[in-house]
Amino acid sequence: MPTRITLPFVLIAMVSAIAHANDNGVEEILVKGDFRPTDLLNSPLSVSVFDAESAAQRGASHLEEMLNTLPNVNFSAGSNRARYIQIRGIGERSQFKEPINPSVGLLVDSVDMSGLGSMATLFDVEQVEVYRGPQGTQFGANALAGVINFQSVAPLTNAPSKLALQAGNYGTYGVAFAHGVGLDSEGQWGARLAVQQQGSDGYYRNDTLDRNDTNGRDELTGRLRVRYQPDDDTLLDLSLFKADIDNGYDAFTLDNSRTTLSDAPGHDRQDANGASLRAATTLSDKVAFEATLAIADSDSEYGYDEDWAYPTLAAGTDFEGWEYSSFDNYLRNQQTRSADWRFLSTDNGRLFNGHSDWVLGYYYLERDQDLRRQYTYLDGDFTSAYRTFNRALYGQLDSHLSDTLTVSVGMRRDSWTADYIDSTDLVIGSDQSLWGGKLGVLWQVAPNSSLFATLSRGYKPGGVNTDGSLPAAERDFGTETLDSIEAGYKWRSNDGRFNAQTALFHAKRSDQQVKGAFVLPREDGSTEFVDYIENAASGVNRGLEVEFQWRASDALALDGSFAYLDATFDEYLAPATQADPQGLDLSGRQQAHAPKYQAFLQGEYSFASRWALVVSAEAKEAFYFSDRHNARSDAYVLWNAQLAYRANSWTARVWGRNLSDKDVAVRGFGSFGNDPRTGYAVGQYVQYGEPRVLGVSLEWEW
């Protein structure tokens, strides 16, 4: 029977932990990605924060291995790694021919890597901040659903140098090194280098080629940061990073097993380089100035065996000779160049008798996406070029009406220009003015508790459908907007032992962008799929989020989250498919990759001075894989555990994820058939996430 997740599951755990709390405190959490660093308790935002230790407790080395700990965050594979992320039910699930404007932004040390989540490794990361809901004022067009902000460990922070080793089943391995050093005797210059190499054979076996590594991983990432900080008012910070990802992609089977039959396994590669330069100074006793310049260049190659098998698969059956054999390959280069200049008030520069902090800024972003598609059924390569230019003015005023009441007003105006051209002579251009912002109220009801309410608006520009078989009216689509209202409560106990934050939200999606597809039959009985995006009528995304951290005793720590999400279409008729020739009426149906319930609960128990046992459970309700068919995942509960031994300078860990070895689907199809042995009868096909993974880690710090 499907596993259902209920609110009492979390509430009982919370009450139990509060009843046993004592004097061991919870570390204060500082949100650093906002205009000004702010204590999470005093931030009128729905944001989750985790650090390197949280990742180490799960044996996690990549963002995808942490996503199930975050409320109302889901992901879609369709690749080796979880490249596509959804927040509160909103976000892309795949990319093929079409260029995309992301719904969820990804920033790595201020470098915009949105849509390139494969390189989101976690070694030597100070913290990761996940903002939920539209972030139109600060982040603009790539933040309709939210933003994920990576911040690596900076020089001049007294962070230890470290060496980490990891080994596990499925050929899992990892080697990582980080070292920081002062560059002058005055302590004003510092540098830090971090390098990580990791990989595995993957979790599938290819019977056709007699190989266990066709879905394997080979990932090298590196970062170099140099910082100059002569005083508290001046900062110069240079960050460089490199990612060399050479992963396989061979994950779909005709019988939904972990044994593939492809004769030409695919790949999921990425070679990315990026740099950012941040400068901050005080111009006067009233005005501070910050500037961030960033560039990134990423080459990716994503390809797969479209038939998932070999040309003689149906030999000896009634459908012998029905087989087809094709390979689809996408080579994409993405370049971004951005600049962000902002002026901020100091304590002496506040407006209105010293009661209002202000920010005024200008943002510029260029993104170029060049594609070359190599496909068996094309006479020649398909090529396209997509250029977007984004210029924005933004500002925010935070008025402290009293010692306990703050009202924030933010606004952003974007000038968005896009130009598209491809090898079929399709030329489309657009020029739009977009706006977003927020109105927020924060009331500090007690020294360690606050209520907040926020009305915000986000936006996602329209784009281009590239397939020439589409009607002219379907060749482009319009901008989607998201109007959200949320209210929440944040609380920290007086002795600092317990933190909790909750949020209720209701968001209206207008001109909602929905990914659909229609099916074109081939002469051999197989099918070709034409993906495109259109604007559905509208949708509503509403729900509840709860997060908590507390120390129940000197020995026991408990952390957890719970999320409820009701994300439905108001009215939408999906296009016809092989499974639904008349189309599919999705009015009132839950949106794709938007599970109604998610929960996470973790306990850490320290004993015998140096030992710690960590046990966690993560649960997720079933969800639809797509908005064009009825195929769904199964609900599940996964158990994870770790036993750690800590000495003075080193830590040894034995860990396991998905201890019950459940098959968890992370991507699925249900509108076509791909097995010639059945005459291409419609079936449901899924890609599985990681099975039971066991490993050991050794970390040395100095």
Write the pLDDT tens digit of every residue in 587-618: 888 999 999 999 999 999 999 999 999 999 99
Instruction: Enumerate the β-bridge partners of residue 217.
Output: 200
Helix, strand or coil for residue 365? strand
Specify the pLDDT at position 3.
42
pLDDT of residue 520: 62
Looking at residue 206, what DSSP letter applies?
E
* Cβ neighbours for 98, distance < 8 A, ≥ 6 positions apart: 463, 464, 465, 466, 531, 532, 533
- What's phi and psi for 677, nearest 5 deg? -70, -20
The residue type found at 302 is Y
- Counting Cα atoms < 13 Å in the Cβ hemisphere of 526 gives 19
What is d(CA 489, CA 43) in angstroms, rounded to the nearest whole number?
11
Given CA atoms 135, 517, 679, 310 in this order, what sign does their dihedral have? negative
Which residues share a beta bridge with 192? Answer: 180, 225
pLDDT digits (tens, 9 = 90+) for 100-145: 888 999 999 999 888 777 788 999 999 999 999 998 788 877 889 9
Please check whether residue 455 is in contact with residue 469, taking contact to mean a CB–CB distance below 8 angstroms. Answer: no
Name beta bridge partners: 211.
206
At 688, list the tokens: 């599985």
Predicted pLDDT of residue 6: 42
Helix-strand-coil split of the chain, %, nearest 5: 5, 55, 35
Radius of gyration, alpha carbons of the chain? 25
Contact at 8 Å (CB) between 254 and 685?
A: yes
Check the CA dihedral 210-212-213-215 and report its sign. Answer: positive
The torsion defined by the Cα of 449, 70, 20 and 608, in degrees rounded to 10, comes to -130
Residue-level pLDDT at 7: 39
Q: Which two tokens stand for residue 605?
A: 């128990």
| CATH number for the domain formed by residue range(s) 7-701 | 2.40.170.20
- Number of helices and strands (H, E) in the chain? 3, 41
CB atoms inside a 10 Å sphere around CB 321: 12
Query: What's residue 95's pLDDT?
Result: 84
Question: What is the mean pLDDT, run by run of 10 residues, along the chain of 702 residues?
Answer: 41 38 59 84 89 89 93 91 90 86 91 83 93 87 90 91 97 97 92 97 97 97 96 94 96 97 97 96 96 96 97 94 95 96 96 95 96 95 95 96 95 94 90 92 93 94 77 78 95 91 95 72 63 78 95 94 93 68 77 95 96 97 90 96 95 97 94 92 94 97 95
Question: For the chain, which residues make up each domain, given as ranges?
Answer: 7-701
- Do 623 and 5 meet the contact criterion of CB atoms below 8 Å apart? no
Collapsing DSSP to helix, strand or coil, 4 comes out as coil
- What are the residues whose beta carbons fall under 8 Å from the beta carbon of 565, sequence distance 6 or more? 72, 88, 89, 541, 542, 543, 594, 595, 596, 597, 598
Amino acid at 10: V
Query: DSSP per residue over 513-533, as a string?
Result: EEEEEEEEE-TTS-EEEEEEE
